[in-house]
Amino acid sequence: MARRNRDICNLNDYFKEFVGIENLYKTTFGFNYTDGIKALCSSFEPDLWWLVKVITSYQPQLFKEEFQQWKLYTVDGHLSILICDNGNGEELIRKEINVADVAGNCTIWIEANIIFLPSEHLKK
């Protein structure tokens, strides 16, 4: 699987093979996450599980949002910006995060208490 690579711009590009939702895993906050999220968070050194923890920590204030789009932007080797919007461009959360060595940018979606990659979304 993918390891840290300075040439990665969009981490989601590494995980396009995750299409649809096959398995769900439970977080400690009562949310479920998919195989794609598991792969994204486990495939890099250091891992990205902290990102799921940060996202779930905001859920009490976002419980009315049916859909959330979370984007992590790497500014430099030690600073990232995490932005959540409602899918229609309305920004709900913006947080600067000091983390060492995030490999690139990524997008994560939440819908119906499931945390997943955009490629895993099945259109109705």
- Tens of pLDDT along 31-86? 999 999 999 999 877 788 999 999 999 999 999 999 999 999 988 767 889 999 99
The Cα 100–Cα 86 span in angstroms is: 28
Is 108 contained in some domain? yes
Is 5 contained in some domain? no
Is 21 contained in some domain? no
Is 4 contained in some domain? no
Query: In percent, how much of the chain has pLDDT > 70?
Result: 89
Is 64 contained in some domain? yes
CATH of the domain at 46: 3.10.450.150
Is 112 contained in some domain? yes
Q: 100: domain range?
A: 26-120
pLDDT at 101: 67
Distances (CA, A) of 50 to 40, 46, 64, 96, 123: 12, 10, 23, 14, 28
User: What's the domain count of the chain?
Assistant: 1
Is 53 contained in some domain? yes
pLDDT at 28: 81
The reported pTM is 0.86
Is 88 contained in some domain? yes
